[in-house]
Chains A and B, each alone.
Chain A
Amino acid sequence: MTTPESPTTPREPDVQTDAANERAIVASTAPVEGGTTDYLRNYVRRLRGGDMGSLPGVTGLIVLAIVFSLAHPQFHTIFNFGNMFTEGTATIFIAMGLVFVLLLGEIDLAAGYTAGVASAVMIRLMVGYNWSWWGTIPAALVTGLLIGFIVGWLVSKVRIPSFVVTLSFFLAFQGVMIYIVQNGKGQKGDIRITDRVVNAFANEQMPKWAGWFVAALVVAGYAAVKLLAALARRRQGLAAEPIGVNASKIAVLAVISFFIVYLLNQNRAPNKNPVAQNVNGKIVFVKPSIEGVPWVVPVLLVLFVAGTFVLSRTRYGRHVYAVGGNEEAARRAGIAVDRIRISVFVLSGFMSAVGGIMIASNVQSVSVANYGGNTLLLAVGAAVIGGTSLFGGRGRLIDAVIGGAVVEVIQNGTANLVNGQNSSAVQFIAVGLALLLAAAVDALSRRRAGSTGMG
């Protein structure tokens, strides 16, 4: 399932196109010499050329947020805002793993139940064998890695199409998960998690200062990377992104980060009336309070930064893109294509396990119902809506984050808007249509890229 676009058909040979190409060259992906206006002009040209990047995802996110806020006031309460973080992040973890797989033009349909099996292993060890979080979480992660390795091995060595391998495992792992949940020592069925650390990811908040600190760290880190790179390139006489553009990107990130932390640091408890609590045998009245950034957010940030670094700054990441772009070229360049292919499934398995733990943390229990087919489809949807191509070679981890936010807004928004028995029907239809729309944007932008000579 590698890219169907073959390089065997070079583009029109005549001189005129050559000249046209040279004009088009200015619209390259990389930093260009010149001022901010040139940069913007190039950006517009790139969009016209079919390289949409994150734009459809970001636009969709803003439009949907406005629509749902207008249609249903409950949507834009800070309580719901906080909720979306703890509900939506699991999808993003799985989607980030899927980006690696999609970059090779492969698919991992088993990701949802890989998450399920990993969390079933976690909960069985927890309730059956009294393992603590520092044993059960690694066990779940190793389960994910192993599953990924088996899938990757079957795809690259036995050469079964990944669609078939992972569809088989989609079914088989559902069974494995049911088996682990229903058998063995300890509770069975819908098993409650009592481990405080596992529950904390989605149900406990960082101290307020820590939230601000993380936001500051993110902004400072991003600024340092951007500015140092630009300075180094100028020193070496290479074209660099204009300082104005750098500065505005940093400013936008700063505004968004600090605004999110500000909102999450408010007390978002829906009912602030004091309730009676038993503290050391005494009855005291406590004001319910949910404030601070959920712990799942820093976990997401760490994995996102690490993954982005690997994809964009290391040899391994470069090779992943190369294999996705032209497998034959990669092979001739001496890249161990099979090893790359196995590795992306291993990463997907790992990230699925992380996602599985976060799903469990959010509902504070493990049951088969929480890992159904939509877990996977939401994650695939997130990656594609964010701008990762289904055809391989194009995608970034930020796609998973933006797409995951869109998916969560649709789910959350429709669930609040349409109450009653049709609620889940509407959710499915809305997310399904959004995925279809994103895939259409992907396919059309590819076609446009083909016809304008910009990919």
Chain B
Amino acid sequence: MADEPSEPILELRGINKSFGPVDVLKRVDFSAYPGQVTALVGDNGAGKSTLVKCVSGTYTIDSGEYLFEGRQVHVHNPRDASSLGIEIVYQDLALADNLDIVQNMFLGRERLKGIVLNESSMEQSAQETLASLSVRTVKSVRQRVSSLSGGQRQTVAIAKAVLWNSKLVVLDEPTAALGVAQTAQVLDLVRRLADRGVAVVLISHNMNEVLQVADRIAVLYLGETAAQVARSEVNQQQLVELITTGGLGTDRPGATNGVPA
């Protein structure tokens, strides 16, 4: 929004994280910019999930710098992250099936009138948010989440991030379980989210999807940053090479670390 697109809203420098003897993240650098979709890609075990959990405060980093809006911050738990304006939309969505859409979108941050829940205020805001994202697939915000399709659930989870005016939204494999039409809808929503000035981080295994929607691409390889490039700088072949070997052509920084057979 007001932020200069050239200034990253989130900047991670030299992040290290290990679990006992296993170094999962090694000097990882990562940036995300307002109004842009930054794809975070990498093979299984490359450290994507760990990196996201460090961003969200589920894990605390061992060392390295965590800068948000240019200032160094310490994120020790998910609450710290959400008070900064960071929202993570998890792969398993973290929605309560027995609650309706409004109740899920406001979960943990309910609006009150005295000690009583202010249902109509919450319902109106939820409706407005979905409308502002041009979501038409959801008819009533009072239907239970258990009655929603995968795409609709994803939509609710993303709308939740918008509702809370999040500055950075991390989407963990949002289309992994979706069919063609719903994937298109969700990617459309991802784009609209970025167009509102939100910094979007998209974790995905799907190359086509990444190349279609991302503005920037960050590649992790065996716990290290293999590349951070603009979408225009790579083609699909190069991207696949970065993911599988950690480098391009003869330059293979990851090869010395021992590629599993």
What residues of chain A have their CB less than 8 Å away from a CB belonging to chain B? 3, 5-15, 17-18, 21-22, 24-32, 232-233, 236-239, 313-315, 318-319, 321-322, 324-326, 328-330, 332-335, 393-394, 449, 453-455
Contacts and interface: CB of A to CB of B under 8 A. Distances in A.
A21 B104 CA distance: 19
B153 A12 contact: no
Interface in B94-141: 94-100, 103-104, 107-110, 112, 115-117, 120, 123-124, 137-140
Contacts of A326: 94-98
Nearest to B150: A10
B59 interface: no
B147 A334 contact: no
25 contacts: A5-B97, A6-B92, A8-B92, A10-B93, A10-B177, A12-B179, A13-B181, A18-B181, A29-B100, A31-B142, A238-B120, A315-B112, A318-B103, A321-B103, A322-B96, A325-B97, A325-B99, A326-B94, A326-B96, A328-B92, A333-B108, A453-B149, A454-B146, A455-B97, A455-B146
Most chain A CB within 10 A, of B147, B151, B183, is at: B147
Nearest to A336: B108
B78 interface: yes
Contact of B152 (A21, A322, A325): A21
Interface of B: 78-79, 82, 90-100, 103-104, 107-110, 112, 115-117, 120, 123-124, 137-140, 142-154, 177-179, 181-183
A116 to B, nearest CB: 33
B98 A335 contact: no
A18 B154 CA distance: 13
Contacts of A31: 142
A343 B137 CA distance: 38
B78 A313 contact: no
Given A29-B142, A30-B100, A332 B149 contact: no
B146 A453 contact: yes
The 3 tightest CB contacts between A and B, nearest first, are A10-B150, A30-B142, A333-B108
A261 to B, nearest CB: 30
Contacts of A17: 149
A439 B179 CA distance: 36
Contact of A7 (B92, B115, B137): B92
A333 B142 contact: no
A13 B151 contact: yes
B105 to A, nearest CB: 10
A26 B90 contact: no
A25 B101 CA distance: 12
Given A326-B94, A455-B97, A30 B117 contact: no
Contacts of B99: 318, 321-322, 325
Given A10-B178, A236-B124, A333 B150 contact: no
A394 B92 CA distance: 21
Nearest to B110: A315
Contacts of B117: 313-315, 318
Contacts of A239: 140, 142
Nearest to A31: B142
B143 A30 contact: yes
A455 B98 contact: yes
Contacts of B120: 232-233, 236, 238
Contacts of A335: 107-108
Interface centre among B82, B145, B148, B149 (most CB of A within 10 A): B149
A444 to B, nearest CB: 16
Contact of B177 (A9, A32, A315): A9
A325 B96 contact: yes
Given A25-B143, A28-B140, A314-B115, 16 more contacts: A7-B93, A9-B177, A10-B149, A13-B182, A21-B152, A30-B142, A32-B140, A238-B124, A314-B117, A318-B117, A319-B108, A322-B103, A330-B96, A332-B90, A394-B98, A453-B149
A319 B146 CA distance: 17
A230 to B, nearest CB: 11
B96 A15 contact: no
B116 A314 contact: yes
B17 to A, nearest CB: 20
Contacts of A454: 144, 146-147
